[in-house]
A and B are shown apart, each in its own frame.
Chain A
């Protein structure tokens, strides 16, 4: 049985490496042109080449988004870019324009995936693209479990669905709110997320339509059972910590499913872990019912900042039992923290000792971007890109 793919976003080369190390089977990235995140860091051709080499060594894949809605000036230049990217080693293109699909299929031996930007919502539309040679369809995010299943049953095309992250209010591709409100072209990568703006009605009451985020942790088994081949996480502009946590957690859910060891207790732990990096409330949106009153906000932007991420591990000195970290958020003695690694290991411990880079003993690590050492006694293999997050703040009274 072919195992489901866990597909992660990656905004740059470092995030590509981290997310693959944390368990993604494939990543999707944006090049410097023609992707729908024009304002993300995005990859140069050399970086694409390096990313592909790194992924392929691990037996994993890299997909490139080429999913803008092309204007005349774009379409004239895309063909040479496609050739360059194929030469760089890309495994698939994610496209929305059928004209590009046929161009790639006719000229290159590389997969083409239909972007969710096309908002494909039924099996006959999938069949249309099957005739055009598409290898995979990323379905619209507006579909229920039974709708997805029927599409799979009636098309015999590989189907990918989103499982986690931010949602658009409108159908993807069918929204030009950003164009009209900010002059930023949503379908060419400039979306200003106007659906998260607050409007007012004639009575000066607030009108908002911002959606809660998608979280399908509890329904991964259903998605695998109905035959979805790829589970996609949203967020090419997300942080290393977010990706490590989300991808690491879904990796565990998927592996537990295949090992028949996914229990309710474990799911609760995984959901709790995902909630620690969430900056909005979550729901399963359209999966079980039509998205309704409960799936959106009514009071403007509701993001909360997250300060759980304490730092990234640089190295572990086994002899002196010292963890060297690059700090991201304040922590102090006796705080309960969790160390997690790309290998899927997690250790929870209370911070007993903190040292500065000069090995002065301190009570509190106050300064993000600084190097600190934490005492930790463990035999665990702690590799590059292990991270530390806060579980519970202590009542320790800071002295210095």
Chain B
């Protein structure tokens, strides 16, 4: 099982010894980024860090006026040894149409939830899938068991929970005569905070609480998950070092789990089934 990270800075150097791969958000084509990378920067990183797997995130909803640029980008990326994390199906269509040799990762956030659809994409030439954060550990294990696709499971992050094309912070500022860049808002019943982050593409919602899946890494390892994903939080370098060491030791060191209880008790949906029919 490999470790992939997404960083909030371009300082890959500090991490390169402890990680197997890194996610790079493509400039103007990715969402929920603190930083993004141009094609030229990606080329440089690809040359510089040959031992790292590069996951290029192209996960915004694509509009007609972006298709031509997207074509050029895909052609450029197909010449590099990188993986392309896609949300919009236009990417799959362009790869097919242009007969590009791309290593694709199905990354439709909340929609990657079952083994059959994973197999469907695998049959289309998509080798990997970033699984939804809203499914249980048991469901993940079953996907690992029943699908051919390489799975990526997000285990540490402040989880993204929604994305709108609307400029919700701009609208809020206009209504309040304020000038916030981002907002932190509290849901009144659960008392949980959400970061409302406006970008060029729209507005994203992020739970302002760390998803702590460190305790499930062993299960993921044993059920043949191919990659775990950690997105940068406070104290990240130490966490990454420890996690790499934990995986290298076949997840046998329980001290790791005790140590990272400090990240909190939010295990997301790993042990929690969502409901969808309300009992009246």
Contacts and interface: CB of A to CB of B under 8 A. Distances in A.
B110 A175 contact: yes
B276 A180 contact: no
A109 B63 CA distance: 32
Contact of B190 (A125, A174, A181, A201): A181
B175 A180 contact: no
B277 A75 contact: no
Contacts of B37: none
Contacts of B88: 121-122, 125
A190 B185 contact: no
A97 B111 CA distance: 9
- Interface footprint category on A: 35 or more
A176 B110 contact: yes
B162 interface: yes
A127 to B, nearest CB: 5
Interface in A333-357: none
Contact of A291 (B89, B166, B190, B277): B166
Contacts of A70: 113-114, 116-117
Interface residue SS majority, chain B: mixed
A184 B64 contact: no
B114 A75 contact: yes
B194 A293 contact: no
Interface residues of B, number: 67
B176 A121 contact: no
A207 B117 contact: no
Contact of A125 (B62, B162, B176, B269): B62
A184 B171 contact: no
B117 A75 contact: yes
B278 A184 contact: yes
A361 interface: no
A175 B163 contact: yes
Interface stretch (A84-92, A165-173, A363-371): A165-173
A140 interface: yes
Interface string B108-133: 11110111110110000000000001
Contact of B61 (A121, A175, A190, A211): A121
A211 B164 CA distance: 11
Contacts of A257: none
A128 interface: yes
B277 A38 contact: yes
Interface stretch (A192-200, A231-239, A266-274, A313-321): A192-200
A253 B247 CA distance: 65
B269 A122 contact: no
B120 A72 contact: no
Given A70-B117, A125-B93, A209 B168 contact: yes
Contact of B161 (A39, A120, A176, A290): A176
A147 interface: yes
A71 to B, nearest CB: 5
A309 B268 CA distance: 45
A71 B174 contact: no
B147 to A, nearest CB: 10
A202 interface: yes
Contacts of B63: 121-122, 143, 147
A185 B175 contact: no
A173 B64 contact: no
B161 A177 contact: yes
A69 interface: yes
Interface string B155-185: 0000101111111101110111000000111
Contacts of A99: 114, 116-117, 119-120
A390 to B, nearest CB: 31
Given A293-B174, A298-B175, A170 B117 contact: no
Contacts of B194: 199
B135 A71 contact: yes
Contact of A131 (B96, B114, B133, B188): B96
Given A119-B61, A128-B90, A199 B117 contact: no
A142 interface: yes
B153 interface: no
B111 A125 contact: no
A177 to B, nearest CB: 5
Ranked nearest first, the 8 interchain pairs of A and B with the lowest CB-CB distance are: A190-B276, A124-B90, A185-B274, A128-B93, A199-B185, A99-B120, A188-B276, A175-B162
28 contacts: A70-B114, A71-B135, A72-B113, A72-B116, A72-B139, A72-B143, A72-B146, A75-B115, A75-B117, A99-B114, A99-B120, A120-B89, A121-B63, A121-B88, A123-B67, A124-B62, A169-B168, A170-B162, A174-B61, A176-B110, A177-B205, A180-B207, A181-B190, A185-B276, A187-B110, A195-B162, A200-B185, A290-B165
Interface of B: 61-64, 66-67, 88-90, 92-94, 96-97, 108-111, 113-117, 119-120, 133-135, 139, 142-143, 146, 159, 161-168, 170-172, 174-176, 183-190, 192, 194, 196, 205, 207, 269, 272, 274-278
Given A72-B143, A127-B97, A131-B93, 12 more contacts: A38-B278, A99-B119, A121-B88, A123-B67, A125-B89, A187-B111, A190-B277, A198-B188, A199-B194, A200-B186, A200-B188, A207-B185
